[in-house]
Structure 1
Amino acid sequence: MSTGIAEHLVVTASAGAGGAAPLSRLETVSAAEWRNLADNAAEPNPFFDPDYCQPAFAFAAKGGGAQVIAVRAEGRLLALLPVVRARRALRLPLPVLLARQPYAPLTAPLLSADDPIGAAEALLDRAAASGARVLSLPVMPLDGAAGQALAAAMAKRGVAPVHLEIHERAVLDAGVDAETYLRGGMGAKKLKELRRQRHRLDEEGVVHFASAQTREDVAAALERFLLLEASGWKGRDGTGLGQDEGDRAFVQAMAGNLSARDALEVLELTLDGRVIASGLVLRQGGSAFFFKIAYDETLSRYSPGVQLTVELTRRLSEDPAIAFADSTADAGHPMIDHVWRERIRVADMVIPLRAGDPVAATVIEILRLRRTLREGAKRLRNFFKSFKEKRL
């Protein structure tokens, strides 16, 4: 990297921080307008809904530093994207805005369904006006309405995205018959084994599925979920949602907000009244999002997590309000990939905001190198962790 470009990176990273305002503070955006845009966006993303997003930034352990790109026209909110500057999010003095908030497995911007391409163009204009040279969308679905609108807007600007990584994520076409779907995906042999495990579980006591949907019921079910999650490997690793005070405050506030709008449910599998598997499911715009799952690891011989997921599949397929469900899972997930067989492409997408910008090109290479180094460090940590566990 030349000295001139290096200096320019640092200078432009803070450009636009004062002055007039391509970026806004979260609290300055009307929650009602924001909520209306989220409910009617070209592509739903409940993780950027204000009732999810605002508690995440306010309470979660990795929150803070958030602003939003908010586009208005003719008295309406047409586009919105929560962002954090790279100096805060990555601790790097780079002119980058990251679409990011804690616990966001999806970073598709909220774009008006009336004119998603125009909304995407205005969004990129605002991002560029902030002084940023690159916009980062770390978990961006490529083939949905938002991805297509961004692709069209980028083509008009004469820029092309760079995908630092692309993977496939399991999703569900909820418009099909559940039993036919499960047989086709899991196979008759696996379903037979699952039924056998369920019969053995029935021998242990009374087995029941229940869905908490009212605000009061969700609050109680959420506490049971947090206890169950903490009893497993996430508890041992210290990564359970309820183990950090801020994360607990976030998920409690978020669940209260969304359940008051019938936008979140907790599906539970119980044995003699004791929860042995639990899942948090968000709903928005005709889609469901399987956000979190926890199960009793002492009963893993009965596959309680799979039993819950199969039941959820049946319920979503029977729900006329739901056409699509996103697993929100990592690539190659060992459980959900064998139950939900449709796939969407998801990318770590970075967008240069100006055509032919050498600064943006350099920044993108820095981001690529950072990702490579972090992945290498993660593999090394996992190797030593596995080695240590084998020695014990």
Structure 2
Amino acid sequence: MDDSKTVSLAVKTRSDPTPVVEAGRAAPVLPTLPSAHVFLSLESVERYAESWRELCDLHAGPMEQLEWVDACLHGGPRPQIVAISETSYLRAFAPLARVSRRGILSLEMIGVGDHFEPMDFVASDGAALQTLCAAVRSQNVAIRLGRLPQGSPTIPALRQAFGRRAVIRVSAQAAAPWIAMDDSWQSPETHLNSGRRSDLRRARKRADEVGTVTIQIVCPDLPQLPALLDEAFAVEERSWKGDEETSLVRDADRGAFFRRYTNAACRQGTLRICFLRINGQAVAMQIAVQQSRRFWLLKVGYDASFSRCSPGMLLTRETIAYAASRKLLTYEFLGTCEAWTSVWTDRRRECVELTAYPFTPLGLAALVADGGASLLARSRKAARRLPRTLKSCFRGMVKSVVARAARRYIAGDSLAAALDVRTRLDQIGQPTTLGFWDADGDSPRVVADRYLEALESMQGAPAHAYLSIKLPSLGNSADLLNEIATRAAAVGARLHFDALTPESVETTQAAIDEVRKRHPSLAIGHTLPGRWRRSVADADWAAARGLSVRVVKGQFPAAGTDDCPPKLGFLEVVKQLAGKPIHVDIATHDEPLAKEAAAILKSAGTSFDRERLYGMGNPPLEDGGSRPRIYIPYGAAYLPYAVARLRKNPALGGRLLLDWIRSLLRL
């Protein structure tokens, strides 16, 4: 049974088809008009097999050849191959198959959905292609061409054939890398940059150190093929594909496909199986086809246990040189552009997907179904993104609120703003200390200049004023610190070292010891956070050096540390300092805690002051009418509490909101 049908095509002819015969001359032979066929089985194509292969050899690659089409159709979709012929010669064909998507019939390129290799219509010339596209249009169903070369003449030919009787969509698809060959590629490494050449030489040297390296590029006979394929599959199984269960050994369907196809290609003499061997063992393999004066790379793999000598890279070098030595036109990597292909080339064959929806019942049904599916997919994607989008918006809103609320706790961006606050507080007898808060991105030199600027302002300031600095913000620079300490000693100001993280304490202590050696008369202070367990021992360290100590609860623990409860740790540090001949600053806005700490120090006869952060409200008078010292920060704004604690302590949300409102009203 001939499972094919002929399609009628509209052909313009003369109004009088009868040939005119002159006296004494034979009647001319009219040219045979091309006819269109639709083949519903490969058996019906057999009489055109020779011209099919000849057409592919001249105008196409292995994906359009009968051997690939036959292997793809095995147990798969039913073919509906549209072809144009003259007598027994094939002039053009479209290797299509009938596919049901969402219950609606359409035509697709054979094998593209499974193997994602570039594929195209094949025609001997433009006229044949135009006739072919007209025949494809007459199928009256949606046409899906999954990975066409972007510059394919099929695209304008289909547009012309459908005209305004269809919706045609074209979208980008992954490009395929390739090399345009010439004699220089017989030494492929000359096309690499110096770093890549060095890598290649190093890889070959390592391979030679392992054993004897041999290259095998085989055009196998049928009896040889099964063993060679088993060996090639085994190499790929020992790569990452084996671990991820995507190798041809693990994927039974793809493995069977490659055995069918390579068997057919072997019969045609186009198959090439390539190995790189070390001491006879195959450690890299390639399955390729040599056709149409081109080398087509279908499958690669390497033994991961030999990855140190890059066997895949070495084998690719050899097969490129082989292709150049055979005067082939191109080396086609197929697949998609990847890191390993970019080593050899930056050339890309851009590809597109073309879908044509004719204005027929099945074409319009496919358009509606595809549009609905696309809308549903986008809706699901948007729904999956919605929580992340809302979370991102919420974080942005919180960040904005935090940035605004934090401004309540600084005097302003500049030293001038801080000095205005200090002057105002001095007038009511309020002790103060200055602290520059640097922003992310401020260089150590910029931070040091801000500290020096603040020290200049302390000349003639009340004796209780001092400057707080952060050593990590100086990049832990000994030179910058010495510059600042020298100036502090000159103006007679106390220099106080803030605490940031437990990891920075050792560095800070070493720096303090160095400053004390260079400037023995300089008054120095150090902050001890109560929540750090090490602070109790650090209290003894500070007391032994006669340092002033500021005790804080500490809001920001370091990750993974075993911290104390802040209030408990605060009191433990205070108790450790009680009775020591040093001065202590109690720095907390927690009034009950501050009073308990003050009582401990007072009963032990230890000198102390209260200290509060600017913006924490009007401080109460101490016993005897004295006022707590105010820490006046300026520069970048930060909150004095951790927003990350909102989840555990929702009450902070109210405080944050209140701070935001107050910052807006400048209260």
Q: TM-score range by the shorter chain?
A: 0.7 to 0.9
Matched letter for residue 44 of structure 1: A
Please, which of 109, 112, 115 is the counterpart of residue 99 of structure 1? 109
**Partner SS, residue 26 of structure 1:** coil
Partner of residue 345 from structure 1, selected from 344, 350, 353: 350
> Counterparts in 2 of 1:349-388, with a 5 A limit?
349-353=354-358, 359=364, 362=367, 366=371, 369=374
Contact 1:135 1:351 in 2 (8 A): yes
Which secondary structure state, in structure 2, belongs to the residue aligned with residue 260 of structure 1?
A: helix
SS in 1 for 2:246: coil
Cα pair distance change 1:110/1:219, threshold 3 Å: farther
Contact 1:45/1:109, CA 8 A, preserved across alignment: no
Are the counterparts in 2 of residues 118 and 153 from structure 1 also a CA contact under 8 Å?
A: no
| 1:51 match: secondary structure | helix
Distance 1:293 1:137 in 2: 26
TM-score when normalising by structure 2: 0.47
Segments of 5+ residues of structure 1 without an aligned counterpart are 1-17, 381-392
Q: CA deviation at 1:32?
A: 5.8
- 1:128-182: per-residue Cα shift (whole Å, max 9, x none)? 32231x3111111122xxx124424533543685222234321011124116654
Letter in structure 2 aligned against 1:154: R
- 1:85 correspondence with 2:98: yes
d(CA) in 1 for partners of 2:239, 2:323:
27
Partner of 1:66: 79
Aligned to 2:128: 119
The answer as to whether partners of 1:209 and 1:270 remain within 8 angstroms in 2 is yes
Question: What's 1:307 paired with?
Answer: 314
User: Are 2:237 and 1:237 aligned?
Assistant: no
Quote how far apart the aligned CAs of 1:290 are. 0.7
AA aligned to 1:71 is I
Taking a change above 3 Å as real, the CA distance of residues 280 and 19 of structure 1, as seen in their structure-2 partners, is closer
Shift of the alpha carbon at 1:361? 9.1
Structure 1 residue matching 2:277: 3-state secondary structure: strand
Residue 145 (structure 2) pairs with residue 137 (structure 1): yes
RMSD of aligned C-alpha atoms? Answer: 3.4
Assess if the C-alpha contact under 8 Å between 2:133 and 2:157 holds in 1: no
CA distance in 2, matches of 1:376, 1:182: 45
Q: 1:47 aligns with which of 45, 60, 63?
A: 63
Distance 1:151 1:374 in 2: 33
Identify if the C-alpha distance between structure 1 residues 375 and 286 changes in structure 2 by more than 3 Å, giving closer, same or farther: farther
CA distance in 2, matches of 1:343, 1:47: 18
Deviations 1:328-364 (A, max 9, x none): 121x311112212322111122234569x99389359
The question of 1:282 aligning with 2:289 is answered yes
Whether contact under 8 Å (2:5, 2:39) holds in the other structure is no
Contact 1:218–1:266 (CA under 8 A) maintained in structure 2:
no
Match of 1:336 in 2: 341
Using CA pairs under 8 Å that are at least 6 residues apart, name the structure with larger relative contact order, 1 or 2: 1
Equivalent AA in structure 1 for residue 53 of structure 2: A
Q: 1-side partners of 2:48 and 2:358: how far apart?
A: 27
Partners of 1:291 and 1:374 lie apart in 2 by 37
Percent sequence identity over matched residues?
Answer: 17
Pair 179,82 (structure 1): closer, same or farther in 2 beyond 3 Å: closer
Match of 1:214 among 194, 199, 220: 220
Deviations along 1:95-122, whole A, 9 cap, x unmatched? 53111314351221222x2x2x233223
CA deviation after TM superposition for structure 1 residue 209, in Å: 0.4
Are residue 158 (structure 1) and residue 174 (structure 2) matched? no
Is residue 120–residue 154 contact of structure 2 (8 Å, CA) maintained in 1? Answer: no
State the alpha-carbon separation in 1 of the partners of residues 380 and 287 from structure 2. Answer: 28
- Segment drifting more, 101-110 vs 156-165: 156-165
- Alignment match, 1:24: 39
Structure 1 residue 372, shift from structure 2 partner: 6.3
| 1:294 Cα deviation from its structure 2 partner | 0.7
C-alpha distance in structure 1 between counterparts of 2:295 and 2:95, whole Å: 21
- Comparing 310-319 with 156-165, which one deviates more in the overlay? 156-165
User: How far apart are the structure 2 equivalents of 1:233 and 1:67?
Assistant: 38
| Paired residue type of 1:137 | L
**What is the one-letter code of the residue matched to 1:29?**
S
* Aligned positions, number: 345
Q: In the alignment, is the contact (CA less than 8 A) between 1:200 and 1:302 conserved in 2?
A: yes
Instruction: Give CA-to-partner distance per residue, 1:240-261, whole Å, 9 cap, x none.
Output: 2233444333322321221222
Gaps of 5+ in 2: 8-36, 386-667
Q: 1:37 to 1:335 in 2, by over 3 A?
A: same
CA distance in 2, matches of 1:56, 1:149: 22
Q: Which moved more, 1:282-291 or 1:212-221?
A: 212-221
SS in 1 for 2:282: strand
